[in-house]
Amino acid sequence: MNFTFKQLLIATLAIGVCMSTVSCKSKKNNEGTSSVTGWSYNDPENMGGFEYYAGYEQEVGPGLVRIEGGTFIMGRVEQDVMYSWDTQPRRVTVSSFFMDECEVSNSNYREWLWWLGKVFSRQEYPQVLRSALPDTLVWRRALAYNEPYVENYLRHPAYSEYPVVGVSHRQATNFCKWRTDRVNEGILFEMGVLDKIETLKKQMHEEGGGGRNNFNTEAYLYGALNDEVIVMDEENNPFEDVKMPMGADEEGEATKRNVRLEDGLLLPKYRLPTEAEWEFAALGIIGNTLSERVGERKIFPWNTHVLRNPDEDSRGKMMANYVRGNGDYMGTAGDLNDAGDITVPVRSYWPNDYGLYCMAGNVNEWVADVYRSQSLEDFDEFNPFRGNVFRQKKLDDEGKLVETDSVGNVVYEVQTQSSIGNRKNYRTADNRNFGDGDKWSNQTEGGGNDWTTSQATTGDMYNGSKADDNLRSLVTDSTRVYKGGGWRDRAYWLSPGTRRFLDENESRDDLGFRCAMTKLGSPQNQ
């Protein structure tokens, strides 16, 4: 094949460029230069300014602690005294994540209620605040004088740092969503990306705004809030500290754009931890290993198998808030054993090896998983989690986020009120979905069908029936796991491997929650 002089010259120059500027095998990648094209990153004159930020490390969100993941044996450590056979040991691996140092307190939760009252008018949206209110009537007992807790526990300053209770799984989930948006909104305020005064005016109904005119992280990233943008110029560049570029149009003038996911400035979602994450964090085996060798399996979140502190300076003091024996909730006057008649402040006792407080006792805690007794028979070895129906997300014609099911049908979340009307906490031992296991627990008060009829299906068993007289299983798709033991529990439930369940719309006076967050990137703590 014959080549012209011009063709040979071009080929020679091309080889020279590859050897001198790219050096694919030997030249270390520079964060300012592409290793595949040799073009400069973050330069408006190159392909419109492709942006790349090297060395990203996720910030720790407010209230969170880093939990370095790893492999561990999930499930019971001691004998199964309840004979439930639903916590059999199995080895799994959990990714690194973040978790609240403490349980969500009354003051934390009241902050959400205050925000809802400011944003959603009680006249226009009375159901919004009502659906978020904790059920303070969980304190009532037929043969006990607990009215002071009904009236004071949530709002009185004496209990501000005590864990919030009377909160359903749905309410805890919605709190996590609200927290995500407020934290990310605060980040944009601090950077000067959003004008704090003007943004808050749009949100508060006293200022003529309110309702749905509030900041939402997902809507912002999807571009649904198109009026909230970054002004990129040399005098006010919010990305200056993180080496992000200034945008520019064809004439070189500063441009505007939203913060994007690629910027890494906004934090991932706050959420409820999975059962595996919660149990892993509670055990805190990071303080009980040597070169991948686990010295012994822990029964409780602390190192000893007893419930009193063995250290010389605190010897004999209780490690958690629980019931020591019949009728003994706090000990003898003058020498209280756990100093907690009911709950105690969220930073009580000693943190575990991850720095987490009250991972045993005080209050039980909701986790994200749906309860199934045989979860141990059907689980993924990596980040095990059992949820409900998988749903995809999309935008409607107006650019607003909607949720769809697996076949594309639009579905909307329905908030249920737990404190006003139709209270599920008023139930007898034989109530359906959560009964005592005898024949009458498996049917409605009206007598309903039994499971021998040909019409009964699996869907009827787990989801219930639209007809009130049909049967339901004791466990449904709305049954959620809770863990950790509480101030009303004996020591057995303080072991992280134990598990119980409750309908996601119910609540208790010894059940609260804490939030978690996914850790992006390397599992190791930098």
How far is it, in rounded angstroms, from Cα 321 to Cα 399?
A: 49
pLDDT digits (tens, 9 = 90+) for 258-288: 788 888 889 999 999 999 999 999 999 887 7
Q: Where are the beta strands (DSSP E) in 318-405?
A: 331-332, 335-336, 364-370, 392-395, 401-404
Our CA angle for 68, 72, 77, nearest 5°, is 130
Q: What is the mean pLDDT of residues 123-132?
A: 88
392 within 8 A of 404, measured Cβ to Cβ: yes
352 within 8 A of 284, measured Cβ to Cβ: yes
Dihedral sign computed on CA atoms, order 167, 173, 178, 182 = positive
Our CA angle for 347, 348, 349, nearest 5°, is 130
pLDDT of 244? 38
Beta strands at 479-483 and 364-370: parallel, antiparallel or unpaired: antiparallel
pLDDT digits (tens, 9 = 90+) for 185-218: 999 888 878 878 887 877 776 665 666 678 889 8
**pLDDT bracket for residue 96 (50, 70, 90):** very high
pLDDT-above-90 percentage for the chain: 42
pLDDT of 391? 58
Calculate Rg over the CA atoms of the chain: 28
pLDDT of 313? 84
253 vs 195: which has the higher pLDDT: 195
| Neighbour-count burial of 316, counting CB atoms closer than 10 A to its CB (0-12 exposed, 13-18 middle, 19+ buried) | exposed
**pLDDT bracket for residue 223 (50, 70, 90):** confident
How far is it, in rounded angstroms, from Cα 399 to Cα 387?
A: 28
The pTM of the full predicted model, rounded to 2 decimals, is 0.79
Q: Where are the beta strands (DSSP E) in 230-317?
A: 230-231, 256-257, 270-271, 289-290, 293-294
Dihedral sign computed on CA atoms, order 142, 489, 487, 327 = positive
DSSP 8-class letter at 299: S
The string of DSSP codes covering 31-46 is TTB-TTT-PBTT-TTS
Tokens of 100: 């609240």
- Tell whether the model's pLDDT for residue 177 goes beyond 90: yes
Beta strands at 511-512 and 364-370: parallel, antiparallel or unpaired: parallel
Our CA angle for 480, 61, 99, nearest 5°, is 35
Q: What is the mean pLDDT of residues 29-40?
A: 74
**pLDDT bracket for residue 392 (50, 70, 90):** low
